[in-house]
Amino acid sequence: MSENDTRFEIAHLARVELFSPKPQETEDFFTRFLGMYVTRRKGQSVYLRGYEDPYQWSLKITEAAQPGMGHAALRTSSPEALDRRAKSLGDTNIEGKWSEDEFGYGKTFEYQSVDGHQFALLWEAEKYVAPPELRSKILTRPSKKPLSGIPVKRIDHLNLMSSDVTATKTEFERHLGFRTTERVIDGEVEIGAWMSSNLLGHEVATMRDMTGGHGKLHHVAFYYGTGQHNIDAAEMFRDYDIQIEAGPDRHGITQGQFLYVFEPGGNRIELFGEAGFLHLDPSAETQTWQMADIDTGLAIGGAALPWETYFTYGTPSPLSLDRHIETYSHFGPGAELPTDTEVAAEPVSV
Ligand SMILES: [Fe+2]
Ligand SMILES: [Fe+2]
């Protein structure tokens, strides 16, 4: 198939599983502050969805010793596309397995990314049908906007920390038909890439893990669609002691409006205001940001993305968030990595 034939074989990001050492507090964060609905509980997991998520769940919170991403699943655009994408991955020695045991979804191809992130591809997804009391009068909305916190509409995108940005990017391009809309280079080295399979600026991004680790989650983003909601959410989080990392502001890269916070389990969550630049041009070139312009790329309004967290902290983390901030407080561009022996440890798997 030509590049254009594979281009729309992945439809979108359907779901993410987050691990949390504080599952009840993590659940409260997503339900009380972000208005997500619980659709099921099973064992040590709870399943949630935003009021415009189309399926039974977009977020699964599973109790675990460490925060991190359990897995992320992308929905293909057809059952045939699922078979073709799974075959493409399998043909290049990427080991995967088929499963069919997850609530609300059917046949699923599970594999590990080149950097060690757990991914899944699927087509069969059970549409959410609201009970009468939750049915919205707005026909494209599968459920009413809840009266709780500042509710997110749906899951939006993922950002992965990678030891090798180019390798991760190439895998998404080659096997899943993603297009790299924007990237950042430091000299000759790619240190960030934003990739899309549809009109959005990205469903999956990847940034270099400055600590030398691999396979970590940088953040999962949930969509508001309205910039003011990020300001309102920042006020809410400030008042209720949810740790804000950066924002609200707007990235130059993607033009997305951001607010980054840490949920109580330790995972970084982004609240996404306006969707940013939409890629309607099918033959657009990848936009390449140089380090000289990185301030505009990161935050047009000048919000500081902290080195001690934004460029170094992902989950699972060898250090707790507080210890990490302490250890990396003097880290910055060109600086040696802190010598704390724990820092070099592999991410703890759960
Ligand atoms: Fe993001
Ligand atoms: Fe962002």
Q: What is the DSSP string of 93-121?
A: T--EEEE--STTB-SEEEEE-TTS-EEEE
Tell me the residue ranges of DSSP E strands in 100-239.
108-112, 118-122, 154-162, 179-186, 189-196, 204-208, 216-223
Ligand approaching nearest to the C-alpha of 260: 2
Distance 267 CA to ligand 1 centre (A): 13
> Tell me, what's the pLDDT at 340?
58
Distance 208 CA to ligand 2 centre (A): 14
Distance 137 CA to ligand 2 centre (A): 32
Distance 122 CA to ligand 2 centre (A): 26
Closest to 35 (Cα-Cα) out of 16, 48, 17, 18 = 48
**Spans in the chain with pLDDT lower than 70:** 1-4, 339-350
Distance 270 CA to ligand 2 centre (A): 6
- How many whole angstroms from its chain centre is CA 226? 19
> Tell me, what's the pLDDT at 196?
96
Helix then strand then coil, % of the chain, to nearest 5: 20, 35, 45
Which CATH class name applies to 7-125+151-339? alpha beta
Distance 350 CA to ligand 2 centre (A): 26
> Tell me, what's the pLDDT at 334?
77
Distance 157 CA to ligand 1 centre (A): 6
> Tell me, what's the pLDDT at 2?
56
Distance 225 CA to ligand 2 centre (A): 14
> Tell me, what's the pLDDT at 331?
84
Distance 133 CA to ligand 2 centre (A): 35
Place of tokens 């505009």: 296
Distance 105 CA to ligand 2 centre (A): 28
> Tell me, what's the pLDDT at 349?
45
> Tell me, what's the pLDDT at 350?
41
> Tell me, what's the pLDDT at 333?
78
> Tell me, what's the pLDDT at 336?
82
Ligand approaching nearest to the C-alpha of 220: 1
